[in-house]
């Protein structure tokens, strides 16, 4: 049996290439967003997605949601000035479902 490297698999799959590109773009956005959050929120927030003009954030629990809610206008204003996020118009968030 012949095994293929991940590079060979990726080179042949347009779908995987799209997923990888989207994942890399979310990581870049995360690198911009997380440092702009207050210290108490930085480990509570994850970038879930960025579609069209909306950034979706995922919270680990409901507790930091209130703090984040009051941070959103300033965060949106700062992010709109960042390269690659000029089209950003809205930030939405949700609490990650519990995984018991």
Q: How confident is the model at residue 99 (pLDDT cuts 50, 70, 90)?
A: low
In a domain, 100, yes or no: no
Q: Structural domain tally of the chain? A: 1
31: number of CA atoms within 13 Å, CB side? 8
28-48: average pLDDT = 93
Domain range for 29 is 6-95
In a domain, 1, yes or no: no
In a domain, 80, yes or no: yes
The CATH number assigned to the domain holding 39 equals 3.30.300
In a domain, 87, yes or no: yes
Is the Cβ–Cβ distance between 87 and 53 less than 8 Å?
A: yes
Q: DSSP labels for 34-85?
A: GGGS-HHHHTTEEEEEEETTEEEEEESSSTTHHHHHHHHHHHHHHHTTSTT-
Percent of the chain with pLDDT over 70: 96
pLDDT digits 0-9 by tens, 55-73:
999 999 888 888 899 999 9
pLDDT at position 98 over 70: no
| pTM for the structure as a whole | 0.82
């Amino acid at each position: 049996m012949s095994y293929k490297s991940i590079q060979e698999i990726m080179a042949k799959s347009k779908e995987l290439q799209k997923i990888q590109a989207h994942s890399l773009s979310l990581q870049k956005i995360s690198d911009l967003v997380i440092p702009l959050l207050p210290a108490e929120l930085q480990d509570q927030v994850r970038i879930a997605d960025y579609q069209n003009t909306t950034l979706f954030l995922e919270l680990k629990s409901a507790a930091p949601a209130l703090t984040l809610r009051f941070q959103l206008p300033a965060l949106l204003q700062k992010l709109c000035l960042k390269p690659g996020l000029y089209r950003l118009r809205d930030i939405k968030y949700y609490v990650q479902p519990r995984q018991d």
